[in-house]
Amino acid sequence: MLNLLQTEPKFVGLNQSTRAVRDGVVRAAYVARDADSHVVFPFERLCRENGVEIVYVDTMKELAELCEVEVNTAVAVVVNR
């Protein structure tokens, strides 16, 4: 599932990812385990409510590297084509 971040269309960051989940266009969500819980908890709840699979990544740095961005990120989503 992690390889999807490098090959499929995605949104990186809480605001864009949240919007995509609400719009119903998300294939999978990615959450960094070391992100602040008050930041990611509402996002995780939204994903569960919408039936979106959550994949956990150890660190925000690792998630940023997988997404090929230079800023550490707490969440990202892969969207349907």
CATH number of the domain encompassing residue 37: 3.30.1330.30
What is the per-residue pLDDT for 3? 87
Number of domains observed in the structure of the chain: 1
pLDDT in tens, 36-80: 999 999 999 999 999 999 999 999 999 999 999 999 999 999 999
Range of the domain at 15: 4-79
**pLDDT of 19:** 98
Determine contact, residues 23/80, Cβ cutoff 8 Å.
no
